[in-house]
Amino acid sequence: MPNPHTAAGSSTWQSGCVPALSPSRVLVGPTIRLRSIRSDDQPALRLAAEDSAIQKYCFPNPEPTEVNKEQWVRLQLHPSDAQTARFAIADHEDEALYGAISLHIEVGKPTIAESGFWIAPEFRQRGFALEAVEVIVDWVFRDLEIERMELFIDFDNLGSQSVATRAGFQHHGDVSYPIPTGVTRDVQRWIREGVGSPS
């Protein structure tokens, strides 16, 4: 069955990898679209990098230094590859950037996908994060061979936990999550199971 959230367009896909999305292929929800992150998103990304919640919960290194802000902006702009796709969460009509969501498939674990997301402060509490997660979940369970989606969320991140609950995820214990700074971070593991059915 074709995915109602997937706009027409071609993609290449191989098991265990994130599909390559072309600029003409976007994922759409009722009020948002997920598109590639573009270089003209840089001003909005730089503004988002000033937000203390994004610094705390999304930066690889949460210290809000200029170097770490720039590193995070560069990470957002990094092109998607076989293991990680990054999407702008954008306005359905004018494509203005509200936030971003990523999808990661670990090498050797082709049926498990992890997602992370953020919404710029001025666009929060309007349902955009929930809608983006729902679009991604629907896509991976319908079109990819993914059987389980995972989210890793800080203990005090009630907003993200609320998004996870509303998107049908369940809290499955706590884990030490490795971050690029070489240390680990204790976080909650949230899971949503589905049945992968590649089209």
Ligand X SMILES: CC(C)(COP(=O)(O)OP(=O)(O)OC[C@H]1O[C@@H](n2cnc3c(N)ncnc32)[C@H](O)[C@@H]1OP(=O)(O)O)[C@@H](O)C(=O)NCCC(=O)NCCS
Q: Rounded to the nearest whole angstrom, what is the least distance from the CB of residue 185 to ligand X in the complex?
A: 11
Residue 113 binds ligand X, judged by CB under 6 A: no
Question: Are the C-beta atoms of residues 96 and 43 closer than 8 Å to each other?
Answer: no
Residue 24 binds ligand X, judged by CB under 6 A: no
- Measured in whole angstroms, the distance separating CA 76 from the mean position of its chain's CA atoms is 11
Residue 118 binds ligand X, judged by CB under 6 A: yes
Closest CA to 167 of 156, 186, 151: 151
Buried b (16+ CB within 10 A) or exposed e, 45-78: beebbebeebbebbbeebebeeebbeebbebbee
Beta-ladder partners of 132? none
Residue 158 binds ligand X, judged by CB under 6 A: yes
Q: Rounded to the nearest whole angstrom, what is the least distance from the CB of residue 122 to ligand X in the complex?
A: 10
Of 52 and 83, the one with the shorter C-beta distance to ligand X is 52
Q: Which two tokens stand for residue 131?
A: 């809608």
Q: Contact region for ligand X (CB under 6 A) — 30-38, 63-71, 123-131, 141-149?
A: 123-131
How many CB atoms neighbour CB 158 within 10 A? Answer: 10
Q: Contact region for ligand X (CB under 6 A) — 8-16, 49-57, 61-69, 76-84?
A: 49-57
Residue 110 binds ligand X, judged by CB under 6 A: no
Q: Can you tell me the distance from the alpha carbon of 197 to that of 3, in angstroms, rounded to the nearest whole number?
A: 11
Q: Contact region for ligand X (CB under 6 A) — 137-145, 159-167, 169-177, 191-199?
A: 159-167
Subset of 51-70 contacting ligand X (CB under 6 A)? 53-54, 57-58
Q: Can you tell me the distance from the alpha carbon of 110 to that of 136, in angstroms, rounded to the nearest whole number?
A: 16
Q: Quick one: which of 3, 36, 111, 157 contacts ligand X (CB under 6 A)?
A: 157
Residue 144 binds ligand X, judged by CB under 6 A: no
β-strands 20-21, 184-193 pairing: unpaired
Q: Rounded to the nearest whole angstrom, what is the least distance from the CB of residue 87 to ligand X in the complex?
A: 14
Q: Can you tell me the distance from the alpha carbon of 52 to that of 147, in angstroms, rounded to the nearest whole number?
A: 34
Q: Quick one: which of 13, 36, 80, 124 contacts ligand X (CB under 6 A)?
A: 124
Q: Which residues bind ligand X (CB under 6 A)?
A: 53-54, 57-58, 116-119, 124-130, 153, 157-160, 162-163, 166
